[in-house]
A and B are shown apart, each in its own frame.
Chain A
Amino acid sequence: SQQGEEDPQALSIQEGENATMNCSYKTSINNLQWYRQNSGRGLVHLILIRSNEREKHSGRLRVTLDTSKKSSSLLITASRAADTASYFCATGYKLSFGAGTTVTVRA
């Protein structure tokens, strides 16, 4: 069964606003990863956060991890039209994905 579940399913924001999406998972993890998928393409790795880390930054991305709640969040700051994509979290050695959050950034 799928390990990660993203929330919300879809998000529409204005350019320049922040976008936040959440991921919940079921079992203990070594790390959690976030990926982006532009329409009809393969996935691109964004960031990996280890189980002993609470927060990690990469450019305009901020990821948090709360292992006690089995949840993670991805924040995209100052969004751009190019951020329009689907975002997925993934966990486990078999790299299990959720259904994803579709983000639309309006100009």
Chain B
Amino acid sequence: DVKVTQSSRYLVKRTGEKVFLECVQDMDHENMFWYRQDPGLGLRLIYFSYDVKMKEKGDIPEGYSVSREKKERFSLILESASTNQTSMYLCASSLSGIKRGNTEAFFGQGTRLTVV
């Protein structure tokens, strides 16, 4: 079974802190995604990566950056955490590359981040 693992289930950080959310997948998937989920807004894409060191902005990249130095790991970075970044963060991975369209995505269990 494909496994997508997010480093923390719950996280509490202070305003202004630099926050790292880590995601690791074990199936050699090319695509990896970071979403945030807020009540009534569904999943909004923050960043997408289709290969090592390759990334594209999603719908709401402001205040976030990402790093993909190895194929299996995709990190989301909050440069200076703010209270409006309190949310559920979901990581996902899928097999197909950018030119072949997407296939089934596998999700981690989510990280509920609270910024105080």
Interface residues on B, range: 20 to 34
Q: Which residues of B contact A95 (CB under 8 A)?
A: 31, 33, 45, 48, 92, 94, 102, 105
Interface residues of B in 86-115 (CB under 8 A from A): 88, 90, 92, 94, 98, 101-110, 112
Measured in the bound complex, the distance between the Cα atoms of B105 and A92 in whole Å is 12
Least Cβ distance of A72 to chain B in Å? 15
Q: How many residues of A contact B (CB 8 A)?
A: 24
Whether A99 touches B40, Cβ cut-off 8 Å, given contacts A42-B110, A48-B103, is: yes
* Neighbour of B108 across the interface among A35, A42, A96, A97, CB < 8 A: A42
Tell me whether A45 and B104 are in contact (CB under 8 A).
yes
Min Cβ gap B61→A in Å is 12
- Complex Cα–Cα for A33 and B57 (A): 21
- Chain B proximity mask over A33-47: 1 for CB below 8 Å, otherwise 0: 101000011111100
Asked if B56 is at the interface of the complex by the 8 Å CB criterion, the answer is yes
On whether the beta carbons of B45 and A94 are closer than 8 Å, the reply is yes
Determine the chain A residues whose CB is within 8 A of the CB of B94 once the complex forms.
95
Residues of chain A at the chain B interface (Cβ within 8 Å): 1-2, 30-31, 33, 35, 40-45, 48, 88, 90, 92-100
Given contacts A43-B105, A95-B31, A97-B44, 14 further A-B contacts (CB under 8 A): A1-B59, A33-B102, A33-B104, A33-B105, A40-B88, A41-B109, A42-B92, A42-B108, A42-B110, A44-B107, A88-B43, A95-B48, A96-B45, A99-B40
